[in-house]
Amino acid sequence: MKMDPRLCWLPFMGPACEASDPFAMAQAELALGLASLEGVQARVSLLPGRGDGYEIKKEQDTYLVQGGEKGALYGVYHLLLSLHAGECPLTKWNEPAFPLRMLNHWDNMTGKVERGYAGDSFFYQDNRFDYDPARIRQYGRMLASVGINAISINNVNVHAPADRLVTDQLLPEVKKIADILRPFGVRLIIAVDYALPVTMGLKTADPLDPAVQAFWKKQCDEIYACVPDLLGFLVKADSEFRPGPYMYKRDHAQGANMLARALKPHRGMLIWRCFVYNCRQDWRDHSIDRPKAAYENYAWLDGQFDDNVILQVKNGPYDFQVREPVSPLFYAMEKTEKAIEFQLAQEYTGHQIDLYYMAPMWKEVMDDLRVMPKHICAVTNLGRDENWTGHHLAQANLYAYGRLCWLGREMDGKGEARRWIALTFGQHFPEADRLLSMLMDSREIYEKYNAPLGLCWMVTPHTHYGPDPEGYEFALWGTFHRANHQAVGIDRTEKGTGYACQYPEDMAKMYQDTDTCPEKLLLFFHRLRYDFKMKDGRTLLQRIYDDHFEGAQGAERLLSDWEKMQPHLPEAIYAHSLDRFRRQVKNAHDWRDIINTYFYRFTGIADEKGRKIYD
């Protein structure tokens, strides 16, 4: 049996409507949505100039959705989703926590998605646009239903021919996508290649060169003539072999402002990623420490960026690892607008094979942030697969991410998971509680069988699935743990690399002291002996063993829980995810055995509980 291609948390609506603008879409979607709800009456009206906000009242027997240009549409989805989830839809005036609520596609025009685990791109194939407009509309609906309002449509690693998306060669195609998504309130962003002027015939891409400035100005004039509401550009510069201003001995404010000035007359934004680090590091050299890189490259530039520049910073200082502290850049650069970047694509969190519900992690990040970045972004987990996300349950991450964008700190990950289950599997799904526990436990389970206590990077190089404790240890990416027979980890205190000192003083103090450093981050900040005593009296080594046995058991439990749900699930969904849970168990066993053996071989110390650790 094939899965329904529209399968998502809006299964009750059928194909998405076509309409000229978000308010017309709100009216059309409301009419369509009401057809699936017997006896419900509702109207939607526009409050001009009120943007993304909305409220929902009830007058006699009729729900009244009132909202701004996009708000009316968000309000309609709020009404429909609430009713389908069995919740009261009434709400007072409601506005999103972040003005820009973005997704980044890492889609290449070949059709391959970098770090994509849900099939090929649904925009491109064979180096050209190739999509089903109905599916793009359905995508627009999914985005609007949770309030996401901007997407970048190509990989930040811009490979030809995607570098031409900003030229007349491909702009007409970009326009078509923009036209489909505009009525859903979704604006496009294009990832640009900093070296484009050179590819197109100039001698240089130096941001201070007048010819380069004129080039981008002309390009922007052309772009905005074609797509007048393009949100702007996204740039990965001087990172992992991408070109950038450093090639011309210019700093990143000079580099970013040049593009920002070309965009400015069109009210375009320049989104500049801060994922800049030395990716050719020698393991013998202890003087550089990769997590320090973003702060070192950017903090000193505070106040120098134009007002239409947004710095996009990954949530942690490394790279979407299972457990990292919040990037210190979020506590610096007060005068600079920032966006926080998460990764829904499960690059380091199980490839959408292993179950990993992210909302609890986002919640921790939000709690640790003192000042909220102004905007929010995430790398998508989407592809051409019929269920959009590879693992059907990974859809919960896209849904919850939208809710995070809307609610910010107020988002309740458990409540959103419950709501997603009700919408996807029905309000009266008898296994809702079991599924909810599976989602809520999934992060801890995964973390336990992965690299211990914030150590990071014990993953198979390149693919990033499965364990390989020394896979990166002598490689050039700057991701070392330096385990030996006595100790493991990098000392990142002031006595070590000094990374911890990039935080505000009180936080630096907390992280530097093993008594106050959160246990889950101990090996991120400290180099510890295996006999280090944890708070509960266990040794570090025993804690590592215990976590790995428990994590693997957790994965087995997820599988058996899923098996118990079989009678209540559509066969195709059951079978599809069953296969993933089986693969997850195998993965968890590999992690458990390889990590435990790795440390056992160094220490020669057996598990206190006598469980099997291989020689």
Enumerate binding residues for ligand GCW (CB under 6 A): 106, 114-115, 156-157, 236, 275, 319-320, 347
- Toward ligand GCW, which CB reaches closer, 105 or 384? 105
d(CA 89, CA 29): 16
Token code pair at residue 165? 């998306």
SS3 state at 431: coil
Cβ-based neighbour number of residue 537 at 10 Å: 7
Residue-wise over 114-146: b if at least 16 C-beta within 10 A, else e?
Answer: ebbbbbbbbbbbeeebebeeebbbbbbbbbbbb
Taking the complex as a whole, the smallest distance from the CB of residue 163 to ligand GCW amounts, in Å, to 15
Among residues 313, 334, 391, 385, which one has the least CA distance to residue 358? 391
- Toward ligand GCW, which CB reaches closer, 464 or 527? 464
- Toward ligand GCW, which CB reaches closer, 277 or 399? 277
Residue type, 344: L
Place of tokens 């509401």: 229
- Active-site entry in 132, 240, 513, 519: 240
Taking the complex as a whole, the smallest distance from the CB of residue 156 to ligand GCW amounts, in Å, to 5
Taking the complex as a whole, the smallest distance from the CB of residue 321 to ligand GCW amounts, in Å, to 9
Residue number of the CB atom closest to ligand GCW: 319
- Toward ligand GCW, which CB reaches closer, 294 or 332? 294
Taking the complex as a whole, the smallest distance from the CB of residue 479 to ligand GCW amounts, in Å, to 11
Residue-wise over 451-486: b if at least 16 C-beta within 10 A, else e?
Answer: bbbbbbbbbeeeebbbbbbebbbebebbbbbebeee
d(CA 418, CA 412): 10
Among residues 557, 460, 481, 576, which one has the least CA distance to residue 524? 481
**Long-range contacts (CB closer than 8 Å, 24 or more residues apart) made by 171-174:** 171/222, 171/223, 171/226, 171/227, 172/226, 173/129, 174/226, 174/227, 174/230
SS3 state at 56: strand
- Toward ligand GCW, which CB reaches closer, 275 or 591? 275
Taking the complex as a whole, the smallest distance from the CB of residue 275 to ligand GCW amounts, in Å, to 5
Answer whether the bond into residue 570 is a cis peptide, omega within 30°. Answer: no
- Toward ligand GCW, which CB reaches closer, 477 or 511? 477
- Residue 347 falls in the annotated catalytic set: yes
The residues, ordered by sequence, that sit 6+ positions from 317 with a Cβ below 8 Å of its Cβ are 290, 291, 292, 293, 294, 295, 324, 325, 327, 328, 329, 499
The answer to whether the CB of 338 falls within 8 A of the CB of 299 is no
The answer to whether the CB of 425 falls within 8 A of the CB of 35 is no
- Active-site entry in 29, 55, 238, 319: 319
- Toward ligand GCW, which CB reaches closer, 347 or 431? 347
d(CA 254, CA 142): 38
Strand (E) or helix (H) holding 190: strand 187-191
Taking the complex as a whole, the smallest distance from the CB of residue 596 to ligand GCW amounts, in Å, to 27
Token code pair at residue 180? 């489909």
- Toward ligand GCW, which CB reaches closer, 112 or 529? 112
- The dihedral over CA atoms of 315, 321, 324, 327, expressed in degrees to the nearest 10, equals -30
How far is residue 146 CA from its own chain's centroid?
A: 15
- Residue 240 falls in the annotated catalytic set: yes
- Toward ligand GCW, which CB reaches closer, 358 or 585? 358
Strand (E) or helix (H) holding 399: helix 395-407
Token code pair at residue 568? 């209540």
- Residue 513 falls in the annotated catalytic set: no
- Active-site entry in 347, 354, 416, 491: 347
**Residue 477 φ then ψ, to 5°:** -90, 0
Q: How many residues does the chain have?
A: 615
Taking the complex as a whole, the smallest distance from the CB of residue 582 to ligand GCW amounts, in Å, to 26
Token code pair at residue 237? 């510069």
- Toward ligand GCW, which CB reaches closer, 143 or 237? 237
- Toward ligand GCW, which CB reaches closer, 457 or 598? 457
The answer to whether the CB of 595 falls within 8 A of the CB of 458 is yes
d(CA 420, CA 412): 12
For the annotated catalytic residues, the residue numbers are 240, 319, 347
